[in-house]
Structure 1
């Protein structure tokens, strides 16, 4: 059966970088059917909701979903329930893609673009596995109200069940077995009950199913410090939704630019993966034509590798990006002057 890749460009620079990824997909996987839909603010404007039921159903029926970015100042004052970001959260929850893979690798050509010294990042290659569909972003109760004493308050609930922790931990262990076999589980077990529970469950699973895995634990704030002190000590970092979000953005800057980093969100076998660049919609540069397309193109690389089972095509994309950078291709975030189109052209030349 013909495979389908659903493109959801979204807002801001999303359409620009997704368009670049589409050009690459046409070359390396011309037999994959490319479809397109709306998400985020674009969907809110056109359909009255940041993610329609129809688009969610199309996502379920596809083999992989490639998303651009959502959000922007245009929708800053709309009701929270229909903000563009809610479309992304609903997509993640609807597909039940619970394991977010965020690689942080430093291309050799970009070692000196990192905010850290060369010896800290040269050869950097780590993977953050972030739980994506539970925790404080989804826990109940949550809200903003006034208590019985008339004091306004805002609150969120961080809650995890044992099965939710177990399934994402299994993914981290499986990925580590294909690497160096080291997993560092991150939480705040010293001050949070949910963090203490997280450590208990990860430890228990390691005892019964952690063959070949060296498991360590670290507090999230300590991990944030260690990522800038000695990032190459890590191989696979396992974290909950909140801490995984924060740590992966920090790790992104070790590599030279957040415009370089992709992500993959995976669920159970047979569920289409959701792939998206780590960067946001960048409304300040939207429409100017100089957004870095590499994160979106590398998100396509992850889609080819993790959901479409096309490792050869994925390798071609990875090598082409690396070679283009080696040849001096740079967008503005990397200290160059290339436009989005010119950077994409350079990668295509290397294909």
Structure 2
């Protein structure tokens, strides 16, 4: 059966890093077809919207979606609904990819690239499961208004339903069963009603369906501290949209560079997954060949593993990235001098 990946290179360094991921795909699984479309600022410039209906339909019809990055200073003053980032949010919502998997794995060759001490970071391998389609990023009401006294104010609503929490918690429990068997659920139940509800629902679901999994709880600020103090204590971290966003970027930097970390966004079985590097569009270096393509290549690795059922190809990609790093391949963010394409060359040579 034929398989297809929709490529959404996006803005900034997105096209550069996606190009290298496609080169790797052509080596490990050249029978998988690809087609490209626009998202973010690139889509605004062409279609007037950050995500067109046609692009969303192409995404829904594919087996996986590989995205580069969106955003940049060109569109920073646009109305909120016309900002590039809204294209990404609309894509996630349209595909209903509610579980965002963000692994933080420290390649042995990059232990000394981390800002943390070797003994703190060596052997790090954790997974953050972030709820992706609800919470404060999507809750209503929201807006910027002026009150009766002429004072302007901005607000949004942090809102979660029981089914939204349960379905992402089930993903975290299932992933933990294939790893170390531990889930740490993160919220701010001490000051937020939605956080208190989150803890209540996760605890109840664990009692009913959590066989084989040890569940613990942490406040989000305490988790942030523990990620820097002793990150290897964590196996799977489960968090809502806002806290998962912040904590996963923190975890990414533990590994030496945000340019190394991929992510997967998954929905129910049978729906295409969305795969993207954790890093942003980095407009300051766009077009200069300086970007690290490893996060995009490893996002492809996750697509091969989670959506396309190509575990053998995924294993080859993961091993090749590690071997390229062991051989000394480094882009600028890792203290080296290789260009984006040269880093791709190194991975392909290892393949």
TM (norm. structure 2) is 1.00
Query: Could you give the per-residue CA deviations for residues 33-81 of structure 1, whole angstroms, max 9, x where no partner exists?
Result: 1110000000000111110000000000000000000000011111111
Match of 1:150, SS state, is: coil
Could you give the per-residue CA deviations for residues 288-312 of structure 1, whole angstroms, max 9, x where no partner exists? 0010000000000000000000000
SS at the partner of 2:262? Answer: coil
Matches of 2:79 and 2:186, distance apart in 1:
33
Q: 1:224 is paired with a residue of what secondary structure? A: helix
Matched, 1:94 2:107: no
Give the secondary-structure state (helix, strand or coil) at the position aligned to 1:263. Answer: strand
- Report the counterpart of residue 14 of structure 1 in structure 2: 14
Residue 23 of structure 1 pairs with residue 50 of structure 2: no
How far does residue 153 in structure 1 lie from its aligned partner after superposition? 0.3
Stretches of structure 2 lacking an aligned partner (at least 5 in a row)? none
Give the aligned length. Answer: 351
Question: How many Å separate the matches in 2 of 1:77 and 1:227?
Answer: 34
Residue aligned with 2:277, SS:
coil
Match of 2:208 in 1: 208
Corresponding residue of 1:300: 300
Q: Distance in 2 between matches of 1:139 and 1:150?
A: 25
User: Residue 247 of structure 1: CA displacement?
Assistant: 0.2
Q: Secondary structure at the residue paired with 1:276?
A: strand
Cα deviation code 1:193-252 (max 9, x no counterpart): 000000000000000000001000000000000000000000000000000000000000
SS in 1 for 2:159: coil
Mapped to 2, the partners of 1:301 and 1:263 lie a distance apart of: 10
**CA–CA distance in 2 between the matches of 1:172 and 1:33?**
31
Give distance in 2, aligned partners of 1:324 and 1:237: 29
Residue 145 of structure 1 aligns to a residue in which SS? strand
Match of 2:71 in 1: 71
| Separation in 2, partners of 1:197, 1:325 | 44
Residue 190 of structure 2 is matched in structure 1 by 190
Post-superposition offset of 1:150: 1.8
1:125 Cα deviation (Å)?
A: 0.0
Matches within 5 A, 1:39-78: 39-78=39-78
Q: What SS is found at the alignment partner of 2:66? A: strand
**Equivalents in 2 of 1:80, 1:214: separation in Å?**
41
Structure 2 distance, partners of 1:86, 1:249, is 19
SS at match of 1:269: coil
Q: Distance in 2 between matches of 1:287 and 1:8?
A: 17
Correspondence 1:247-326 to 2 at 5 A: 247-326=247-326
How many Å apart are 1:148 and its aligned residue?
A: 2.3
TM-superposition CA deviations, 1:3-24 (whole Å, max 9, x none): 0100000000000000000000
Q: Cα deviations across residues 162-183 of structure 1 (Å, max 9, x unaligned)?
A: 0000000000000000001100
1:89-108 per-position Cα deviation (integer Å, ceiling 9, x unaligned)? 00000000000000000000
State the match for 2:113 in structure 1.
113
Q: Distance in 1 between matches of 2:208 and 2:80?
A: 42
* 1:87 CA displacement: 0.3
1:35: which partner in 2? 35
Map of 2:336 onto structure 1: 336
1:236 aligns with 2:261: no
Q: Which residue of 2 aligns with 1:345?
A: 345
Q: Deviations over 1:97-120 (max 9, x none)?
A: 000000000000000000100000
Distance in 2 between the 1:323 and 1:125 partners? 18
Give 3-state SS (helix, strand or coil) of 2:211's partner: coil
Query: Which runs of structure 2 are paired with 1:80-91 in the superposition (5 Å)?
Result: 80-91=80-91
- Distance in 1 (alpha carbons) for counterparts of 2:346 and 2:276: 21
Root mean square deviation, CA, Å: 0.4
| 4+ aligned runs moved over 2 Å, structure 1 | none
Aligned-residue offset at 1:284: 0.3
Structure 1: gaps (5+ residues): none
